[in-house]
């Protein structure tokens, strides 16, 4: 019988910020905009007031006026995530990342060296806390489905193990909303036919569920209600990307101002790529409008780059290709994906390109900024311009 773990960092961004700002421990806080933008992560003290990730900062402030808002630092979150996943790799080679802050681990073969599943789970929690200074919750079960439910039950900062013989007693009292694939609409449909717990689903004929929900979903829910989940943990590398975003202090439709802000964001992204010694090939622009709708467009470059000009030119081209007949713009972001090692990647030279160009100039600027601060070298377009 396989032994699967789901490890989930608790309020990840908020936990990292609390590590850096211990004076905020015990206080309601969130990571995100002070009065604009969205909440990316909220401490459990803030969650007690109803604040949650994805909520607008305006609504969060109404719910919890005394909470502290902390600006996000995605570079730090990525670094902590890398450290956490490095710990996972010392436990087992079979790690399936689900996001920056959660993963499935197949520890079936690790028991011979590291002990029982519970001992392995506690080892992971201790190593993450000791080396990265953030808490995590661990769920253990015979399948991915059960392990995920167990980690939810373990939050915050706990461990829940569901042995094969305990699957039914753990699973059946839960509400139908806990099953994968059951969102508000499906839950409502289940409630209408009198099904409110997982046990109710398990003891409903498969054919009845299929008539009510469709052949595929009905069969899937019936299997899951009995703990049947044959999906394996598939080890693979996490997707790598570098990105940044900026929220305007006032919504704007000034295209020149928006393109200047894209330059600032592109410069930040390119600088981070050079620091990480990577090049990227795909540039994605994200635009959030005043009505909170989001549009994004991606473009693939002829060859990988870490030059601000290349990233910005692609971002502007994608922006101009968008239909900007929506309300005014609230936030812009740039993300570069398809990263490769800068030392080994081949870059197609441009006809007539000089031996030393913008990439060399930007490396020199990076060195000056590292030594003298962020205002040591700035692009003339942005010099003296206050952030919008």
Q: Cα(342)–Cα(117) distance, rounded to whole angstroms?
A: 40
Supply angle C-alpha 206, 184, 229, rounded to 5: 45
Q: Cα(287)–Cα(335) distance, rounded to whole angstroms?
A: 12
Query: Among residues 319, 115, 350, 63, which one has the least CA distance to residue 126?
Result: 115
Q: Which residue spans within the chain are E strands per DSSP? A: 4-9, 29-32, 39-42, 68-70, 95-99, 102-106, 136-141, 159-161, 241-252, 278-289, 294-305, 329-337, 340-341
Identify whether the C-beta of residue 315 lies closer than 8 Å to the C-beta of residue 266: yes
Dihedral, CA of residue 230, residue 82, residue 261 and residue 32, to nearest 10:
80
The tally of CA atoms less than 13 A away on the side-chain side of residue 335 is 13
| 102 counts as catalytic | yes
Establish whether 360 is an annotated binding residue. no
Q: Cα(304)–Cα(282) distance, rounded to whole angstroms?
A: 8
Burial of 128 (0-12, 13-18, 19+ CB in 10 A): buried
What are the angstrom distances between the C-alpha of 217 and each of 101, 207, 227, 228, 232?
28, 11, 15, 14, 20
- Helices 255-276, 308-321: crossing angle, 10 deg rounding: 140
Q: Which residues pair with 295 in a beta bridge?
A: 287
Work out the number of other CB atoms within 10 angstroms of the CB of residue 207: 12
> Over the Cα atoms of the chain, what is R_g?
24
Establish whether 253 is an annotated binding residue. no
Catalytic pick among 45, 96, 102, 362: 102
Active site residues per annotation? 102
List binding-site positions for Mg(2+): 8, 101
List binding-site positions: 8, 101
């Amino acid at each position: 019988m396989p032994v699967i773990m789901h490890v989930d960092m608790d309020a990840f961004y908020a936990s990292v910020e609390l590590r850096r700002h211990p004076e905020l421990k015990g206080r309601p806080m969130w990571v995100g905009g002070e009065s604009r933008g969205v909440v990316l992560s909220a401490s459990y003290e803030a969650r007690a007031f109803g604040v949650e990730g994805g909520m607008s900062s305006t609504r969060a402030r109404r719910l919890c006026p005394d909470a502290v808002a902390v600006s996000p630092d995605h570079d730090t979150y990525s670094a902590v995530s890398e450290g956490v996943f490095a710990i996972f790799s010392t436990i087992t080679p079979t790690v399936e990342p689900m996001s920056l802050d959660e993963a499935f681990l197949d520890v079936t073969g690790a028991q011979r060296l590291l002990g029982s599943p519970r001992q392995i789970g506690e080892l992971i929690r201790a190593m993450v806390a000791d080396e990265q200074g953030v808490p995590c919750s661990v769920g253990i079960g015979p399948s991915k489905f059960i392990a995920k439910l167990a980690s939810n039950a373990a939050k915050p900062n706990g461990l829940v193990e569901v042995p094969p013989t305990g699957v039914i007693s753990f699973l059946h009292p839960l509400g139908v909303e806990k099953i994968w694939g059951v969102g508000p609409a499906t839950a409502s449909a289940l409630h209408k036919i009198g099904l409110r717990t997982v046990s109710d689903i398990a003891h409903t004929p498969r054919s009845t569920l299929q008539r009510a929900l469709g052949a595929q979903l009905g069969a899937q829910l019936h299997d899951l209600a009995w703990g049947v989940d044959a999906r394996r943990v598939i080890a693979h590398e996490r997707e790598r990307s570098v990105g940044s975003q900026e929220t305007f202090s006032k919504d704007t439709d000034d295209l020149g101002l928006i393109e200047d802000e894209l330059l600032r964001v592109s410069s930040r992204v390119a600088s981070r790529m050079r620091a990480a010694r990577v090049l990227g090939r795909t540039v994605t622009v994200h635009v959030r409008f005043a009505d909170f709708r989001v549009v994004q467009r991606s473009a693939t470059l002829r060859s990988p780059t870490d030059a601000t000009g290349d990233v910005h030119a692609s971002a502007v081209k994608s922006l101009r290709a968008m239909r900007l007949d929506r309300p005014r713009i609230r936030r812009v972001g740039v993300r570069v994906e398809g990263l490769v090692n800068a030392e080994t990647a081949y870059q197609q030279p441009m006809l007539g390109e000089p031996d030393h160009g913008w990439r060399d100039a930007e490396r020199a600027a990076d060195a000056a900024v590292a030594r003298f601060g962020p205002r040591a070298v700035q692009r003339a377009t942005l010099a003296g311009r206050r952030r919008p």
